[in-house]
Amino acid sequence: AVHINIEKKAPIRAGMAGGGADAAAVLVGLNTLYSAGLSLEELCALGAAVGADVPFAICGGTARVGGFGEKITPLPALMDCRFVVVMPGYGISTPEAFANYDQVGTDKRPNNEAAVAALTAGDYDALMPCLANVLEKASNGPDTKAICNALTQAGADAALMTGSGAAVYGIFKTEQAAQSAASQLKKRWQKVWVLAPRAEGTKIEK
């Protein structure tokens, strides 16, 4: 028998689920390397012991996540669109953001039920106003509002902070619109990416 110990070490203020995504990749990779034959459910159970964001990083796609991250309900795939992700030159401490949330609360709430209905109907326009990040006020990222405003002015149909920040993303209907917006934002922020949604999670590329 092979005993493998996985310890997730996410850099403080890294954001974007970096440690969780890395842990998911390690679990999926080891499952293949050692021909362990673990099911997706078994991998997710192992991942949940490593970090709350690991099970979703393993499953990927579009889903509603509950509990401590271990309850994953798959949803209809996100319609074709593009994300422009902007990362300022600093991060936000997730523990600090949550501690601050207990003090300041939120002025935004996502409409989860309406979002699920929009996804089910494949209605992109109906989905956009349903989106919100309750940590945005508590995170208090110095550039969050400026980036959201810049993305909206560049044509984003929605612009939100990721997780506890500091990265921000805008959603665009087309690759062309996203690339045009990214070009504009790169004049002010260096780290800007255009990404497409994926219908699957972590997998081995051959």
Neighbouring-strand partners of residue 158:
171
Contact status, residue 81 vs residue 97, Cβ threshold 8 Å: no
In tens, the pLDDT along 99-158 reads 999 999 999 999 999 999 999 999 999 999 999 999 999 998 999 999 999 999 999 999
Q: What SS3 state is found at 16?
A: coil
Length of the chain: 206
In this structure, what are the phi and psi dihedrals at residue 43, rounded to the nearest 5 degrees? -65, -40
In tens, the pLDDT along 46-80 reads 999 988 889 999 999 999 998 888 889 999 999 99
Both tokens assigned to 111: 């409409």
Report the pLDDT value the prediction gives residue 3, as an integer from 0 to 100.
63
Assess whether pLDDT exceeds 80 at residue 181. yes
Assess whether pLDDT exceeds 80 at residue 17. no
- What is the helix (H) or strand (E) element at residue 104, kind and residue range? helix 94-104
Both tokens assigned to 89: 């030159």
- CA-wise closest residue to 54 among 20, 85, 31, 77: 20
- What is the helix (H) or strand (E) element at residue 183, kind and residue range? helix 175-185
Report the pLDDT value the prediction gives residue 12, as an integer from 0 to 100.
44
Assess whether pLDDT exceeds 60 at residue 180. yes
> What value does the mean pLDDT of the chain take?
90
Q: How confident is the model at residue 1 (pLDDT cuts 50, 70, 90)?
A: low
Q: Alpha-carbon distance 93 to 81, whole Å?
A: 29
Bond preceding residue 138 cis, omega within 30 of 0: no
Neighbouring-strand partners of residue 193:
85
- CA-wise closest residue to 149 among 197, 181, 177: 181
Q: Alpha-carbon distance 194 to 179, whole Å?
A: 7
The letter for the amino acid at 166 is A
3-state secondary structure 145-176: HHHHHHHHHCCCCEEEECCCCCCEEEEECCHH
In this structure, what are the phi and psi dihedrals at residue 91, rounded to the nearest 5 degrees? -120, 175
